[in-house]
Chains A and B, each alone.
Chain A
Amino acid sequence: GQNIDQPTEMTATEGAIVQINCTYQTSGFNGLFWYQQHAGEAPTFLSYNVLDGLEEKGRFSSFLSRSKGYSYLLLKELQMKDSASYLCASGGRGSTLGRLYFGRGTQLTVWP
């Protein structure tokens, strides 16, 4: 695997900003992905970073530092509907190209 590590749970209030961190094993790295998964539903794609830096997409931004094996997902202006599990995943390369290695997910609860 890719030793994906992310916090198990986080809580925040509506309108706030939350940062979900993720660390991964740097060898064999081929891109860092974030997916959102609501309870009982399929994961949906949020972002993909392959180069260092910040990618912004509306209220969600994702950051990558390849040298540190570190990424974060930043959610701004939180809404109740953002309560979900956020999955960090790294892409395989070479013989494992195509597969995603997922972390356990961070369960985010947004309170009113």
Chain B
Amino acid sequence: DTGVSQDPRHKITKRGQNVTFRCDPISEHNRLYWYRQTLGQGPEFLTYFQNEAQLEKSRLLSDRFSAERPKGSFSTLEIQRTEQGDSAMYLCASSHDSIRSYEQYFGPGTRLTVT
């Protein structure tokens, strides 16, 4: 399978715990995006990497959230001191910066439930 993969697919955690999600983009894609989606809403942009550089962060991304892409390949999204409001589907997407750069391919998402 050469699509975008995310791990884990589901995560249940207690309020106050830290969680980390991983995204592996399509191998030749150098752009990587994180979005968050809650029920009945469209995805909301969180952050974006070009290679290993984090180029943009949404104001939605509080200081409890941090994302990394250390070698320009996979990325991790960490949420510290989780809150119930963090419960959502966390989607990762990737694209190429020159070949059909407008087309973002989404992974299956990580569904986070904070109890």
Contacts and interface: CB of A to CB of B under 8 A. Distances in A.
B20 to A, nearest CB: 20
A94 B41 CA distance: 25
B42 A87 contact: yes
Contacts, number: 54
B87 interface: no
A96 B55 CA distance: 9
A95 interface: yes
A42 B109 contact: yes
Interface size class of B (residues with CB under 8 A): 20 to 34
A103 B50 CA distance: 24
Interface in B38-75: 40-45, 48, 50, 55-56, 58
Interface size class of A (residues with CB under 8 A): 20 to 34
B31 A98 contact: yes
Contact of B106 (A42, A50, A105): A42
A48 B43 CA distance: 17
Interface of A: 4, 31, 33, 41-45, 48, 50, 87, 89, 91, 95-96, 98-105
The 8 A-B pairs at the shortest CB distance, nearest first, are namely A102-B42, A42-B106, A99-B45, A98-B48, A48-B102, A102-B43, A45-B103, A43-B106
